[in-house]
Amino acid sequence: MTNDTNMRLLQLLSQKFPNSERASAEIINLEAILSLPKGTEHFVADIHGEHEAFLHILRNASGNIKRKVHDLFGDTLSDEVMHDLCTLIYYPEKRLEMIEDSADGDLSDFYARTLPQLIQVCRSVSSKYTRSKVRKALPKQFAYIIEELLHESPNDDDKDVYVRRIVETIIQTGQARNFIVTVCNVIHRLSIDQLHILGDIFDRGPGAHIIMDYLLTRENFDVQWGNHDALWMGAAAGCDACIAIVLRLSLRFANMATLEDGYGINLLPLATFAMETYADDPCLRFLPHVRAEEGETDEKHIRLIAQMHKAISVIQFKLEGQLIRQHPEWNIDRRGTLENIDLQGGTYRFEGKDYPLLDSFLPTLDVNDPYRLSPEEEELVERLHHSFVISEKLQKHIRCLLSHGSMFTVCNSNLLFHASVPLNADGSLREVEIDGNTYCGCELMQQIELKMRTAFPSPYGESAKSTARDFFWYLWCGPDSPLFDKSRMTTFERYFLADSVTHHEEKGAYYQLRENPQVCADLLDHFGVEGETRHIINGHVPVHAGQGENPVKADGMLMVIDGGFAKAYHHTTGIAGYTLVYHSRGFELIQHEPFTSTQEAVAKGTDIKSSKQIVEMMGRRIRVRDTDKGMHLQQHIGDLHQLLQAYRQGLIKEKAKR
């Protein structure tokens, strides 16, 4: 108790709690917080740019707001009115615009009915939090008024007139519209206490930049980086191979919105080069995956995308070949794609056998030096590189990923990572070499994260930064990368060879063993995950729910929550995404059907149809005391008790009360 280190810490603590009365009051406050129900955590994975579906799920709290509305008003309001109230909560600004446009006159009656209903919903979602926490969620201009309405019961006759008068005055002063929007936004914030994103925000869908803009408005979220996130991080850091892959994937799905509208990437040089180089090439193998419902039928536009797609693909294969030669330590020796081409014979040699090429028009390929960029390609890569590294918004979003993200997280007895932990066939941790040293498991993840961070402004020097930039490409497709963990990536083979034998990518041992409870238990032990119930939560591999695959594996110890948010995966999964919800009573897995659009949700009140699967219910309600936050609070309470003892023993002098 009286050692020097402890005394220094207690002296620091006494600056905030200068006397026993202040310290005792804080202990009482913290003990009260420990008895509250734990906040609700939402886990989502593999959003892949589907911003409308993702944001709608957050707005409706995976269906929880609708349930609360029905619990509160099921006996007093019609289904239609409750439906309209939910839509208003989800999209207050847009819904109010529609109501105002269709109204014949004064909206005072609507406001008078709606404001008390919204306050009731807000009171319900805030019930598990302290007044202090709720107060922090309130915007300054309406904080006092909302707090009064939340904590005054309209059933109290003495307060009924008081509450009604507040509502009347809000309407009379013309603040009802702003007040409704504010309360709805508070409901959104308080419905989800912590948001966990298990990787792959980027690619496929059109709105990754919109998702990132939204995340910048939140405080309570974390990201476990996925392979697609690492790809964009590498592109932003200036890895040319990553830039080429980002462009190829965007063109493959005819999705240039994130690049052009989101980040201001200039695609004109690529379009010009592609039109000139592949002018007489139908580029049939590179036609984009265009969704019919998006109405993209312009044949000239599709042809241009295909030409750009082929141009950047060839550049990608060249840049990748250069990296393989520069980094023999990565052991990527099965991807010598371009040097295995026989243009004259129109064949490709794969594992000792010749296969016919589906496309042999490669005008920029030098058979004597297949990985050398042509002068035109080299100039194009330089311009694209410049466009990525100077994109202010992209760099801002990557900084957000760095500040809120990591390779893995342990939170409330749950181990979160995107894809895998490399394992050997017997379930033991696989050793992976990084910069001449070998690591496995938790240490491997930590070393990879450190190397990723080295690629951005850091004190490590330009040489280390350059190697770290290249490493993002390895994370994308390296055989021992925890974000990939397959024998090889067969991108070239899928484009140029018909035989499916050449397309096979052997998954790592983790994917074969993760349904084994003992393997999962060993991993949890290794990462130091403790608790009565503990879990591994992953994304990355789509769950074939439509074919009956269960996302809950290993006797409930592992949950895979990639349900296919991206429309490109709906045919694979049979659904349109999962949300795993961990509230004070246990775990629920919410399975979502495809979302139409925000416009239709506002105009017609359509909601995402979701079904609930109870994964695990606790025998008792989980309190803050049982969480990681509770553990820290209890440690703080212990420090405060020591401070009280020091005051009582005269080891630290109390300051006068003010």
Integer CA distances (angstroms), 10 to 2, 13, 25, 28, in order: 10, 5, 17, 19
The residue-averaged pLDDT of 439-460 equals 90
Pairing of strands 408-411, 41-44: unpaired
User: So what's the pLDDT on residue 556?
Assistant: 93
Residue 349's SS3 state is strand
Q: How is the chain split into domains, by residue range?
A: 4-36+626-649, 42-52+194-222+517-623, 62-191, 224-496
Question: φ, ψ for residue 369 (rounded to 5)?
Answer: -145, 75
Residue 90 has pLDDT above 90, yes or no: yes
The pLDDT of residue 571 is 78
Contact 236, 262 (CB under 8 A): no
Q: Given this model, what pLDDT does residue 292 score? A: 44
Name the pLDDT band for 143 (thresholds 50, 70, 90).
confident
* 536-595 tens-digit pLDDT: 999 988 888 888 889 999 999 999 998 888 887 787 787 788 899 999 999 999 988 888
User: Mean pLDDT over residues 22-38, rounded?
Assistant: 93
Cα dihedral across residues 538, 236, 405, 439: positive or negative? positive
Q: Look at residue 532 in the predicted model and tell me its pLDDT.
A: 83
Q: What's the rounded Cα separation, in Å, for the pair 19 and 186?
A: 36
Residue 335's pLDDT is what? 61
CB 594 within 8 A of CB 424: no
Higher pLDDT, 627 or 463: 627
Q: Is the pLDDT of residue 596 over 90?
A: no
Residues 60-84 pLDDT 10s: 998 899 999 999 999 999 999 999 9
Between 26 and 5, residue with greater pLDDT: 26
Tens of pLDDT along 304-314?
999 999 999 99
| 0.85 exceeded by pTM | yes
Quote the CA–CA distance of 619 and 623 in Å, as a whole number.
12
Q: Residue 139: its pLDDT value, please?
A: 83
Mean pLDDT, residues 413-436: 96
| pLDDT, tens digit (0-9, with 9 covering 90-100), for 200-209 | 999 988 999 9
Q: How far apart are the first and last CA of the chain?
A: 29
Nearest to 634 by CA among 31, 5, 16: 31
Most confident of 55-64, 426-435, 592-601: 426-435
What residue spans of 192-239 are helical by DSSP H? 208-215, 227-237
The confidence score (pLDDT) of residue 342 equals 92
Residue 164 confidence (pLDDT)? 83
> Residue 86 contacts by C-beta under 8 Å, 6 or more apart in sequence?
60, 65, 66, 69, 605, 607
The residue-averaged pLDDT of 130-136 equals: 84
Q: Which of 80-89, 165-174, 274-283 has the lowest mean pLDDT?
A: 165-174
Q: Is the pLDDT of residue 412 over 90?
A: yes
Residue pLDDT, tens place only, 509-522: 999 999 999 999 99
Q: In which band, very low, low, confident or very high, does the pLDDT at 600 lie, cut at 50, 70 and 90?
A: confident
Are 339 and 317 within 8 A, CB to CB? Answer: no
State residue 516's pLDDT score. 96
pLDDT interval class at 154 (50, 70, 90): low
